[in-house]
Structure 1
């Protein structure tokens, strides 16, 4: 499956949680430290990612900086 692209909308360095706004205009996707692969995300960064359904909603994983 082809990865999605988007921009980091918000990311809290302390909690390791945030949101990515997909370029396709869909709903924001949650991201956490686990899904970010250890990258230090910042608002506005362009990223590619895959999505996974978890019990608490849809999360980004395999996040890579573009």
Structure 2
């Protein structure tokens, strides 16, 4: 499974949902609070992640925002 690089396009801490923009130019993917831990997400935050297809869309999974990417 490939790892992608990107940045947080938007994130709502109240709902735990957000949008990730891949650096590769691929279509953006959703992110859920349950799929990452250990850092605060905010618009513009750089991260690496994997993609998973779920019934309601494509999500970022195994998100790592701990390093300066």
**What is the TM-score normalised by the length of structure 2?**
0.87
The residue that corresponds to 1:2 in the other structure is 2
| Total equivalences in the alignment | 66
Higher relative helix content: 2
Structure 1, unmatched stretches of 5+, are none
Distance 1:11 1:36 in 2: 13
8 A Cα contact 1:35 1:62, kept in partner: yes
**What is the TM-score normalised by the length of structure 1?**
0.91
Alignment of 1:1-66 (within 5 A): 1-37=1-37, 39-65=39-65, 66=67
Runs of 4+ in structure 1 off by over 6 angstroms are none
- Structural RMSD (CA): 1.2
